[in-house]
Each structure stands twice: as C-alpha cells, then as structure tokens.
Amino acid sequence: MNHWSKQLKEKLDTRTARVSIVGMGYVGLSLAVELAKAGLTVRGIDLDLERVNLLNRGETYLVDVSADTLAPLVAAGTLSATTSFEDAESADAIVICVPTPLRKGKEPDISFILSAVENLLPRLRQGQLMVLESTTFPGTTEEVVQPRIESLGRVIGDDYFLAFSPERVDPGNKRFTTANIPKVVGGVTAECTELAAALYSHVTSSVFRATSPRVAETAKLLENTFRSVNIALANELALACRKIGVDPWEVIDAAATKPFGFMPFYPGPGIGGHCIPVDPLYLSWKIRLTGYEAQFIGLADQINRNMPEHVVTLVSDALNERAKALRGSSVLVMGITYKADVNDIRESPALEIVEMLMKKGARVSYADPFTPQLALDGHKLAAVTPTPEALAAADCVLILTNHSSFDYAAIADRASLVVDTRNALKRYRGSKKSIVTL
C-alpha cells in the first residue's frame, strides 16, 4: 500500500470517511442510508431539487426507505443532500448511481454516467475512490471512465482508485435488502478492489472480489439476462398452455415441487422496471460489436415485449365473447406500476397496454395506490378508487399489477368480467367463469 491507499483505507476502516453518492434514486438512497447507519458521513448529490429538499427534511419518497429510518440520520448530520457537485471535492469516496436507459434504437445510453463524470472531474483530488454502480456494458469503467480521470494526470491504483460494483436493489423486496445482499466489486487494480471492498464492508458482510471491472459489469448483466430469459420461457409457456387448455400456473407449481434443477418463474403482462427490460440489451449490444449475435437474448426480449399486445387481444376477445366491442367498452385497469407494492412505473408494461386500449377506443380508467396521476399519449388520467360499484360498472376489470391493498374478493364478486394477468384470483377461478387468465 502507498501513502494514498493507506490513508484512505484508514478512513474507511475507522468510519471517518466522507462519501458522496451521485444519484439518489432507489439505488443511491438505499446505499446512502446503509452507509450513514454504519457511521460514515454521506452526502447525496441529485439534480432534482424537490428530492433533495425532501431528503434534507428527513422525508422519504421511496417505499423501501421509511421516514423513521431516514429522519434520525438526517437529524444526526450523517446524511444530507445537495444539487451541487462541489461537495465531491471533500469526499473520500464517490459512488455513481445514475440511470442507464436505452436509446430508441435499443442501444445503451450512458449519457447520465458521462454527465456525472464530467461534473465530477474538476472536483477530483488525489487519494479518492470512485465506484460506478450504474448498470452498463462491459468495459465502461476502464474504457470510458478511467481515461477521463487519467486525463487529469491521475494514476489509477497509485494516487486515484477506481472500481465497479453492480447495484442489486430489488424494490419492494422485504427479505433481501441493501444490508444483506452480497456485493460484487471489481477494481482496475487489486488496490482499487480492496478499497472498494473496505467501503462496502460497512454495508454487507459478504463481498465478492472480481478480478476486474469487466467481470463485475458482465456479472450484473448476466443476473438480469437470466431473469429475462426465464420470464420469457414462462410467458411462452402461458401462450402454449392456452392452446392446449392447461393452466400454466398449476404447471409451474407442479414443477416447482422438484427440489433440484428447477426455479419457478411466472408469466405476466410483460417486463418492467429499470433492469430486466434494459440490461440484457446492454450485453447483446456489446457482444454484437464483436460480430457475434446473441440470439437467445434477442428472442427472450421479443417474447416479453409481445406480451402487452397479447393482453390487449385477451381483453378484446373476452369482450367479444360477451357480444361487446372493445371500442366503447369501459376497462378498469388494476395496477400501473411494474411490480406489486412499489411506486415505480419505469418500463411498466401497463403503460403500453393502457395506451393500446385507448387507441383502440376503450374507455380506460385505472386504480393504483402508488400512482395518483398518469400522463399517457397526451391524455391525463387520475387514479380512481376501485369501489364495489366501480368494479360492477366496468365492462372489464384488467389486473396488471397485483398490489396487496386490492380487494380481490370484491373483484371476483362484483366484476362481470376479469382478465387476470397475475393469477391474483387463483382461489376464485374454480367457481367463476368470468375470470380470464393468460
């Protein structure tokens, strides 16, 4: 260890290090809370002034971070937020947790990473550690971020330290959280890896040291490609089972009794969130640059992205069987967020489904306790309360997100027709012919 690494390691070990986290969304805020709880001083940097003001008042905007947890940290001065990058100059460690979406052509968009790095460059100093957590294509840390830092005359592994550690936040998951999910870290040098591991050891007791940032970057993409492919298999199973008159959920439950060699995945109206619809395409894009086409990834993406259209067809066919046209029929959509009990609509298949229904002339309303307002294709919608009267008045009730607060007994009892894409009405299907599933 040289002077700079020894100094930083001591600060990390004694919890006297100051940490700046760029991006205070699900990933950044969850990490900030855990580091602050461990006793480190954390400053969040976010361009959203409303979000910054909420944090500095100890108020939360995420379902996974309670005000009871956040407020004491803010009051103690161990956690605060700002819109200014100036704070990064006094930080010992900088963690970048910004979004990495796709461009319209399904190519990686790392503009948020580039913007963060460019804003940080004038504030960087010797002896700092920078960790990129944003999911991105293999090579980003060493091919994109490292040259920019080295342009300042810094020597990575000597007087500046750089690593990648993929985020593993699962919104709404009460069992696995930032505090108990193992972390993977891959530094540009072995010294970088050890310093990053020292930082994350305050968050979790399990740190896997990868031999390079490229390995850590690829591991993250594999995790969500695995999920995408298996969800696609479950969705294709649902389509196939519909043809042969078999219940796909019962098939999966039966297969899941096998204690080895099988992991259950379930069909749904499509894929959503900030990871599964995006990450596999980051991997396939990078692979394509070598001249190889990752066909399996592309096929899974195609199957998953076709599910919203399949759901709209189910609604249309179900109404048609009851001598009603989709155009002019009232459809009450239950759930807009991409998964149950979270306030995140990013890439939610419900958005595409609602748009398709409206374009086909359906009169769409929606209920979602986490999404009070919705703007789609020039239309502004406000959430309605799914009262028994509202359920009975709808020509079709369409369950897209199985929020725990929904009264499924009332839906089964009062709705004249239900299209259930989440198997939420499993217990009622035996006695109700008005329930249509995937």
Give the position of tokens 């010294």. Answer: 191
Packing angle between helix 279-288 and helix 213-244, nearest 10 degrees? Answer: 110
In terms of Cβ atoms closer than 10 Å to its own Cβ (0-12, 13-18, 19+), residue 389 is: exposed
3-state secondary structure of 209: strand
Residue 218 token pair: 């690829």
* DSSP letter, residue 62: S
User: Out of 97, 241, 275, 396, which one is annotated catalytic?
Assistant: 275
**Alpha-carbon span 321 to 294, nearest angstrom:** 41
Query: 275 catalytic, yes or no?
Result: yes
**Alpha-carbon span 360 to 345, nearest angstrom:** 22
Under 8 Å between Cβ of 406 and 424: yes
Neighbours of 388 (CB within 10 A): 13
N- to C-terminal Cα separation, the chain: 59
CA distances from 138 to 61, 285, 436 (A): 31, 10, 43
Active centre residues (catalytic):
275
